[in-house]
Amino acid sequence: MSPISKKIKVLVADDQRLVRDGIASLLGLDEEILVVGTAENGKDAVALARQCRPDVCLLDIRMPVMDGISALEQIRAEGTSQYIVMLTTFDDREYIVRSLRSGAIGYLLKDLPSEDLVRAIKQVVKGVFLANGEVMNKLLGSLESLQDKEQELSSDATALEQCCFLTERERHVLALVGEGLTNSEIAETLSLSEGTVKNYISNILTTLGFRDRIQAALFAARNGLTREQK
């Protein structure tokens, strides 16, 4: 993947210069990644996204002028970057839920190992949802504090009824999604290709009426769907 045109283009936004420069330098060491810009606030990130059209945006949550979630919403609305990941020190449940509902495909904490961040960038462009273990734990527990709890429970009831229209293999894939496995891990577990897994997940989302993989994962976890139940 040596040609620049085939590299994964990344934009980094963080209000701390040492942090954003450090992240940019780290990512720049990988031959498959090209850092196309860095921004010190959300407003600059939005402007750079328009200019550079990055594949991935790494956004901090708390930044001056415009915060990361506001920048996320504007970048998503303008369609100037396909994959947006929040990279922050804050694991507040409210931030996590707001970010994912606004369209982030991942929520990572800055204390993750550097090699994991590089690996995450390569996974996210495959459509894989990313989150630290502690983030997933708070995400799974968020139902109790959400104002639309009744709506989500109703949605779960409808989805549970629709589960009868899934094949046995699709129910197995859904259970693995709920356990937090990536497409590649599911493929390895079930001896399938990643393309086949993606097709299964697409059909699962359509059948159960879910917007994205995150909803499917939370549904499976909340309702205790396991590999044994399939």
Range in 51-55, 91-95, 170-174, 192-196 with the lowest mean pLDDT: 91-95
Per-residue pLDDT tens over the stretch 138-160? 665 554 454 455 455 556 677 77
Residue 132, pLDDT score: 63
Cα distance between residue 161 and residue 155, in whole Å: 10
Phi, psi angles (nearest 5°) of residue 210: -95, 150
Three-state DSSP class for 11? strand
pLDDT surpassing 80 at residue 85: yes
Contact 140, 133 (CB under 8 A): no
Q: Is 121 exposed, middle or buried (0-12, 13-18, 19+ CB in 10 A)?
A: buried
pTM of the model: 0.61
Please report, rounded to a whole number, the percentage of residues in the chain having pLDDT higher than 70. 85
Range in 112-116, 145-149, 208-212 with the lowest mean pLDDT: 145-149
Ordered by where they begin, the domains of the chain are 4-140 (3.40.50.2300), 147-222 (1.10.10.10)
Residue 141, pLDDT score: 56
Between helix 183-190 and helix 194-208 the angle, nearest 10°, is: 110
Average pLDDT for residues 81-101, to the nearest whole number? 87
**Confidence band, pLDDT 50/70/90 cuts, at residue 27:** very high
